[in-house]
Amino acid sequence: MIDQIKKHPKSPLDSYRFSILLPTWNNLDYLKLCISSIQEHSELDIQIIVFVNEGKDGTVEWLEAQGNIDYLHSRENAGICYALNLARSMAKSDYIVYLNDDMVVLPNWDTELDKEIQKMPSKSFMLSATMIEPTDTGNACVVVKDYGDSIETFKKEQLLQEYTSLRRNDWSGSTWPPNVLHKDLWDAVGGLSIEFSPGMYSDPDFSKKLYEAGVRIFKGVGSSLVYHFGSKSTKKLKRSRGRELFLFKWGITSNVFSNKILKRGQPFEIIQNEPNLSKEKTIGKLKILGILFKSK
């Protein structure tokens, strides 16, 4: 598979403040909207690196016509994990941003993240922008306000008029994109774990690897906003066993990690001490035994 993936360097500068890793899978209309928002609403020098899975919808031809966007192309769907790890190899920035193609960044998204980076005492952190979503899925990290759940229903002008009123306090539990971290930290933990391919539950696993490497700052920035239409690519995937893989790998569920350790969606605080998870670990062992028993 790796031999069939071709790199196409196009970006004109030698260095950037952020390098955005942007995987896409036959989703050209959303990709165009996402990239146009980056170009329109970014204040800093931004390198865009698109990983094209398949590209049967004209994505490659469109990127070629742009002339200044780096991209990689796999004729088969390589999944999120391989896509991001390979795209990382083209990054010219010290800071890696992971963004999905069904997201629209809003003005000052990048400068607000950069302000937080300037405050960090070391490279040991992960930051996330805050998503605005049209439907309430129970995600405590998200601002819920309906500006459309598709390109056809997207209320762009209304969103641009109102987005500043949707800023919220900073929150704990950075796992989902859009997120940013230093390239040294990315490399130290080996990027995304390919056993989670095509990608479901690779996000909390990545954060768990960072946690094991000593990261204690997982911060959602309430003033850096993106609009998220809602998993337009992942809905194409068949059911993944990522939930079970996380449990087998770490001995606890992803929900326990996100809620008990990262305190997902709660007001931001640096993680000081890991809670006593003896009960949760015992439950995890029982769940593993149950899964093994059912598989026989």
CB 22 within 8 A of CB 99: yes
How far is it, in rounded angstroms, from Cα 73 to Cα 93? 21
Supply the pLDDT for residue 176.
Answer: 86
Classified as helix, coil or strand, 276 is coil
Q: What is the pTM of this model?
A: 0.94
In angstroms, rounded to a whole number, what is the distance separating the alpha carbons of residues 98 and 84? 8
Question: According to the model, what pLDDT value does residue 232 have?
Answer: 59
Instruction: Report DSSP state, residue 106.
Output: -
Which pLDDT score, from 0 to 100, does residue 237 have? 55
DSSP state of 9: -
Q: Could you tell me if 74 and 54 are in contact, meaning their C-beta atoms sit under 8 angstroms apart?
A: yes
Per-residue pLDDT of the chain in tens (296 residues, 90 and over written 9): 667 899 999 999 999 999 999 999 999 999 999 999 999 999 999 999 999 999 999 999 999 999 999 999 999 999 999 999 999 999 999 999 999 999 999 999 999 999 999 999 999 999 999 999 999 999 999 999 999 999 999 999 999 999 999 999 999 999 989 999 999 999 999 999 999 988 899 999 999 999 999 999 999 999 999 999 986 555 555 556 899 999 999 999 999 999 999 999 999 999 999 899 999 999 999 998 888 877 76
The per-residue pLDDT for range 220-270, each reduced to its tens digit, is 999 999 999 986 555 555 556 899 999 999 999 999 999 999 999 999 999
